[in-house]
Amino acid sequence: MEFQAKWVLLLLLLLPLLAFFQIRKRGSAAVRFSSLANMRQATPSWRLRFRPLLVLLRQLGLACLIVALARPRLGTVLSEISTEGIAIEAVIDRSSSMQAEMAFEGQKLNRLEVVKRVLGDFVKGDKKKLRGRAGDLIGLVTFARYADTVCPLVLSHDVLLEFMKQTQLVTVQSEDGTAIGDALALAAARLRKAEEEILRRRQQLGLSEDDSAGEAVPDAFRIKSKVIILLTDGRNNVGDYHPQAAAELAKKWGIKIYTIGIGSSQSFRTVDTILGRMKMPVRDELDEGLLKSIADVTGGFYSRADDVLSLRSIVQRINDLEKSEVTMVQYTQYSERFAHLALAALVCLLLEIMASCTLFRKIP
């Protein structure tokens, strides 16, 4: 709540002075008598006792009128976001090899859980170096033997993070495998489709590519660049698409691929046996040559993450390279609130006049 004419409120300081003169005038004699001794012994009536209410009503009415003249109004802040952002597809390996354990903040988690937490910080921010990707379209593709779109490209990242939390390692042996080529091809198709859909909507709205972005999201969203972030710990062994062919397709559509290899020569996983829980070493099957080739073809880069610190460093590097531009235009819509105060002032003054002419009428 604010007042457009705040200086008018200074008139409230005059109300005590007006009340003083009104009470003083009421105490002056209209007819003079030689002695008031007998009248002082008389018990005052209820009309006389409650007569100061007239002064109170007048003061209250004048106060409401002054506040109404100050133009109180309630402002609602509205905003429009114009974004030139990046469309990102996170492609995560969930095959059984991702069950190998990694140290994460004093805990022993499997690789998939670590990847999910680091990517979660990349999306929402970690209050340290990563500020989050508030202005970007982000989707999620997971793969083992088959590639699946877990979450479409969205600006509402809470939905994305919830889908990411629910992603689990493959549990069916027949669905195990590492279809890197199929996953990349699916992610590239999703990015291509999203770009076509945005262009189609802009054409329907009559917006050209040179128009300044001034509409609400997603109509004002422009894809600055298209990116795939691939995280895997294995080599391509199933699927219809060869990873190199998928990379060439991504290059054709202007999509950049960043590849991250999750692995370590000292990896192990915990398994339950008849002798209890045992730690079994995991063979490193990371195909670094293929991952580097995929990244080089599309203009991205390949990095290996042997631990959480190196994984965070790689994600930070991608975050620094791929920056979005978000412009937020805020405006305030005001609603005038003086009408209720003016009505209250009118009611108080009318009650004061009616009461002084009826119940509290005095002669002379």
Threshold 0.85, pTM exceeds: no
In this predicted structure, what is the pLDDT of residue 74? 78
3-state class (DSSP) for residue 259: strand
In this predicted structure, what is the pLDDT of residue 220? 54
Write the pLDDT tens digit of every residue in 52-81: 788 888 888 888 888 888 888 877 655 555
Domain with CATH 3.40.50.410 in the chain: 83-328
pLDDT tier for residue 136 given thresholds of 50, 70 and 90:
confident
Q: How many CB atoms lie within 10 A of CB 42?
A: 8
Q: How far apart are the first and last CA of the chain?
A: 46
Q: Is the pLDDT of residue 342 over 60?
A: yes
Helices and strands (DSSP H and E) totals, the chain: 11, 12
Least Cα distance to 226 among 191, 190, 197, 202 occurs for 191
Question: In the Cβ-directed half-sphere of 225, how many Cα atoms lie within 13 Å?
Answer: 16
Q: In sequence order, which ranges of the chain are alpha helices (DSSP H)?
A: 15-27, 37-41, 46-49, 52-69, 111-124, 157-166, 180-204, 243-252, 288-298, 308-321, 338-357
Provide CATH code, domain 83-328: 3.40.50.410
Distance CA 31, CA 119 (A): 92
Write the pLDDT tens digit of every residue in 137-183: 899 999 999 999 999 998 888 999 999 999 999 989 999 999 999 99
